[in-house]
Amino acid sequence: MGRTLPLVALLFALGSWKPASAGQPARAHHAMVVSREVHATEAGLAVLRSGGNAVDAAVAVGFALAVTHPAAGNIGGGGFMLIRLADGRTTFLDFRERAPATASRDMYLGPDGALTRESVSGYRAVGVPGTVRGFEFASTHYGRKPWAELLAPAIELAAKGFPVSGDLADSLKNARPKLELFPDSRRIFLKQGAFYAPGERLVQPELAGTLGRISSAGAREFYEGETARRLAQAMAQHGGLITLADLRAYQVVERQPLTGRYRGYDLVTAPPPSSGGVGILEILGILESTGYAKSGPGSAASIHYTVEAMRRYFADRSEYLADPDFVRVPVAALLNKPYLAGLRKSIDPERATPSARLRPGAPPRVESSETTHYSIVDAEGNAVAVTYTINAGYGSGVTVPGLGFLLNNEMDDFAAKPGAPNLFGLVQGEANAIQPRKRPLSCMTPTMVLRGGRLYLVLGSPGGPRIISSVLEVIQNVLDFGMSLEDAVASPRFHHQWLPDTLYVEPGVSPRTAARLAARGHRVERIGSMGEVAAILIDGGSLQGAADPRSEGHAAGY
């Protein structure tokens, strides 16, 4: 794929931006795995080399990340898996966490009506985990390797340990305020306050035991066996809501992926309860035919147009997006071409629209509805994109006593108080209010792009609402700006989510561009890195894998 502008090389040359690492993209002819962590990537690659398909590898990577990337990798959370088989069939596995049966709309409001911290930290913040059942569903329906073989790398990593990277050492130390509140978290991840040094081995025998039981007895062990009983007991002892009945009742939902078309490319992406697929398609639908890309990547004009489209989508998100099993989500209406044309027309090419003047749109009634990501393509052409999470870094902070795994704080992804911002500053409406057994709205956006009916791009990212921006901007960089995959992933990012009315930009956005955006009326704020995209590009007989230089991610293939 040719480059129209070597943007990242230019930024490096000017010394204006240096990501955390700048590894070269991996190239291969048969198969590729891109994940957040080297041991997990290698586990997936080993499965592919031994005859497994992309789904088998995805399960192995997911369990390995539960050991080596405790900030987000998990068996105590949930997520989404987007699958495209070599014959063109697609499916979407929703193993998002659910609210416990006794959850209630106002459970996180204090006597004064203000939000408490209970949706963020501790046992009451936890939704019913879906990861283990999700991985088993994927393995049973779309994989071919024995279940125990897929868990073996993770069990070995937990039992024998692995060397702590510099990134993980820093992450664990920074998480001290959260982790030190819970005895098992303090003992396992903080060494009772002594902390892990880079290169020191992190051994997790309790997690190895839990994974071993799951390996032998399947997901039933997690939801009905010893693990379930000990988890429910800990919940009862510490004021949590999850019961054995909640665990037994958890089910994966298989959904139709959301599809759309942009400039001759076909997109396959996440449907609700993800808000990300709708977001990608709505934003691209607004931008199409604007000519926004003519001014080039990173220009004030192209950023302005994209931000204005983001602003309008996130306003709609606040009103309409939620769990489609509980709320009618007007997906077709939000992506209706006349509706998108109206949003496009409302953009002033020279001035920002203040968010205070922008309300959720009125789409026509058209009937149709801290996280980590990894991408895999196998030698047969099957592709998998997985984004899964325990929400904030290290979730609720709770490690289940004797079981060795961290629990999510996914209940904060509901509108704990409709109209009030959540952990990520997102303002959400009544559609996403807490209800028993409901899935909270998510920004996770595993996505694939097809060119001429053939698989072309597989990608996704962590990052809360910035997932949507990160995935969107890599797609724009490849499709609209003709960048190479490594430049598309490494290029500086920006984000706007309607409220707060702030345009967040990474350090690589130049001072001149930031000033021009401010002159257009944007309130510009510089932040650290956003997103960690894991992407694979398929061009003819060649595969390119790019791990985000903002992380210690790793791409490998053969």
Residue 419 is predicted with a pLDDT of 84
Residue 398 is predicted with a pLDDT of 98
E strand or H helix at 282 = helix 276-287
pLDDT in tens, 364-395: 654 332 799 999 999 999 999 999 999 999 99
Separation CA 415–CA 427 (nearest Å): 8
Identify the band that residue 9 occupies on the pLDDT scale cut at 50, 70 and 90.
Answer: very low
Query: How far is residue 423 CA from its own chain's centroid?
Result: 15
- Residues 6 or more apart whose CB falls under 8 angstroms from that of 540 comprise none
Which SS3 state, helix, strand or coil, does residue 434 take?
coil
Which two tokens mark 176? 């001290």
Q: DSSP of 340-354, one letter per residue?
A: HHHHHHT--SSS---
DSSP H helices in 321-417: 331-334, 337-345
Asked if the model's pLDDT at residue 14 lies above 60, the reply is no
Separation CA 480–CA 228 (nearest Å): 49
Asked if the model's pLDDT at residue 334 lies above 60, the reply is yes
Percent of the chain with pLDDT over 70: 95
Asked if the model's pLDDT at residue 5 lies above 70, the reply is no
Average pLDDT of span 86-111: 97
Separation CA 496–CA 457 (nearest Å): 24
Contact present, 389 and 408 (Cβ < 8 Å): yes
pLDDT in tens, 238-269: 999 999 999 999 999 999 999 999 999 999 99
Percent of the chain with pLDDT over 90: 90
Asked if the model's pLDDT at residue 15 lies above 60, the reply is no
Type of residue at 201 = R
Identify the band that residue 216 occupies on the pLDDT scale cut at 50, 70 and 90.
Answer: very high
Give the C-alpha distances (Å, rounded to integers) separating 244 from 209, 232, 332, 415, 536: 20, 6, 38, 25, 40
Q: Which residue has the tokens 């978290």?
A: 185
Separation CA 180–CA 398 (nearest Å): 9
Separation CA 30–CA 543 (nearest Å): 7
Residue 24 is predicted with a pLDDT of 66
What is the CB-side half-sphere exposure of residue 75 using CA atoms within 13 A? 36
Average pLDDT of span 22-51: 92
Residue 402 is predicted with a pLDDT of 97
Using only C-alpha atoms, the chain has a radius of gyration, in whole angstroms, of: 22
Strand locations in 431-550, DSSP E?
447-451, 454-460, 494-495, 503-505, 524-526, 534-539, 542-547
**Helix, strand, coil fractions of the chain, as percent rounded to 5:** 40, 20, 45
Residue 408 is predicted with a pLDDT of 98
pLDDT in tens, 140-156: 999 999 999 999 999 99
Average pLDDT of span 16-27: 53
pLDDT in tens, 288-306: 999 999 999 999 999 999 9
Residue 365 is predicted with a pLDDT of 52
Question: Mean pLDDT, the chain, as a whole number?
Answer: 93
Separation CA 95–CA 439 (nearest Å): 9
Closest C-alpha to 274, from 250, 247, 256, 251: 256
Residues in the chain: 558
Query: How far is residue 245 CA from its own chain's centroid?
Result: 28
Which SS3 state, helix, strand or coil, does residue 419 take?
coil
E strand or H helix at 34 = strand 32-35
Asked if the model's pLDDT at residue 20 lies above 60, the reply is no
Contact present, 230 and 111 (Cβ < 8 Å): no
E strand or H helix at 26 = strand 26-28
More confident residue, 20 or 439: 439
pLDDT in tens, 277-292: 999 999 999 999 999 9
Type of residue at 547 = A
- Sign of torsion over alpha carbons 208, 214, 219, 225: negative
What is the CB-side half-sphere exposure of residue 59 using CA atoms within 13 A? 32
pLDDT in tens, 456-486: 999 999 999 999 999 999 999 999 999 999 9
Architecture of domain 255-371+444-553: 4-Layer Sandwich (3.60)
Domain spans in the chain, listed from the N-terminal domain onward: 255-371+444-553
Q: State the catalytic residues.
A: 371
Residue 425 is predicted with a pLDDT of 83
- Sign of torsion over alpha carbons 202, 206, 212, 214: negative
